[in-house]
Amino acid sequence: MSTTSLKASEMTGTALTMYRISTWLKSPKPYLMLIGVGFILAIWYLFVEVWQLPRFEDMPGLTEVVIEYFNPDPIYGLSIYTPEYYTHIGISLRRIAYAFFLATVLGVPLGLFLGWSRKFHEFIFPLFELLRPIPILAWVPLAIIMFSGSETPVIFLTFLASFFATTLNTMLGVQSIDESYTRAARCLGANGWQTFRHVIVPGAMPYIFTGLQISIGVAWFSLVAGEMVSGQFGLGYVINTAYTMVTYPTIVIGMITLGVTGFVTSTMVRMAGDFMMQWRVRELALGDN
């Protein structure tokens, strides 16, 4: 085991990714995962289409959804062959990108300063803690009143949820840094700004990326809420419209698409984190074996 861990610790980039994929395929994990997914699909198929249990009979069935999803000429107007499908995905992704970018660019520095300066913390944090528990849905009316059009309110709502998660985790990250590190930096002659740059920022990095993971998750959550209320495009809008128009298979298509895009974006965030924290990846790789 020690030789494989050494190998893993020496590799970087693509080689490391390929190595991880091959070990993953050799482990029982992917097969257990397939069994899990298959189990849920089987229940769906049996409950709705075979047994037609009460309360399930109106639901779109598995075969109905799959046929609609891959239909070049979809009955309800949305499948992987229709350009609108990609317009909706694109618009949702764009909103996520704007909101996530803004939340990161504003939230990380704010969190760093909240953790670093006690005075700043006392000044800002109580206000922050008052605003944070307000559910995103409660912001919907204000967002619509404050911003014109349908685009900015949705981006604002998405941003807000992400922003709180990122800021709070970054602040916790700074507070979690062992005092020995800052003391060592001062001993070694670093001034305040150098300590901030070389100790506080990298020291908080693991928490920052945990925050960004949460942030991208809640971004999708509030995006769909926003799109259902005030959007004209986007996956939340697709689901809501399909509901009011009684085109049920489209609801499920929207939901599956959200699952996949959400998974892809949060994997991207995790990969960015691994890329920026090689020290941590290597440390954890050794710890695993």
Partner 1 sequence: MSTTMNTDTNSQTIVTKGAIRIEDVVKVYDPDGAAVMAVDHCSIDIPGGEICMIVGPSGCGKTTLLNAIAGFHGITSGEIYLDNELLCGPGKMQAEPGSDRIVVFQNGALFPWKSNLENVVFGPMMEGRLSKKEVYDKALKMMADAGLSGTEHSFPGEVSSGLRRRVEIVRALMLDPKVLLFDEPYRALDSLTKSVMHEALLDIYYKNKVTIFFITHDLEEAIFLGHRLIIMSSRPCKPKKIVEVDIPHPRDYSVLTSPRFRELMEEAKGVVNEEAKKAFEAGEKEG
C-beta closer to partner 1: residue 20 or 183:
183
Residue number with CB closer to partner 1 (148 or 180): 180
Q: How far is the CB of 205 from partner 1 (least distance, A)?
A: 7
Supply the minimum distance, in Å, between the C-beta of residue 117 and partner 1: 19
Smallest distance from the beta carbon of 195 to partner 1, in angstroms?
9
For partner 1, which is the closer residue by CB, 122 or 283?
A: 283
Smallest gap from residue 282 Cβ to partner 1 (A): 6
Q: What is the 3-state secondary structure (H, E, C) of the chain?
A: CHHHHHHHHHCCHHHHHHHHHHHHHHCCHHHHHHHHHHHHHHHHHHHHHHCCCCCCCCCCCHHHHHHHHCCCCCCCCCCCCCHHHHHHHHHHHHHHHHHHHHHHHHHHHHHHHHHHCHHHHHHHHHHHHHHCCCCHHHHHHHHHHHCCCCHHHHHHHHHHHHHHHHHHHHHHHHHCCCHHHHHHHHHCCCCHHHHHHHHHHHHHHHHHHHHHHHHHHHHHHHHHHHHHHHCCCCHHHHHHHHHHCCCHHHHHHHHHHHHHHHHHHHHHHHHHHHHHCHHHHHHHHHHHC
Min CB(194)–partner 1 separation in Å: 5
State which residue, 125 or 181, has the beta carbon closest to partner 1.
Answer: 181
- Site residues, partner 1 (CB under 8 A): 9, 178, 180-181, 183-191, 194, 198-199, 202-203, 205, 277-280, 282-283, 286
Pick between residue 20 and residue 29 the one whose CB is nearest to partner 1.
20
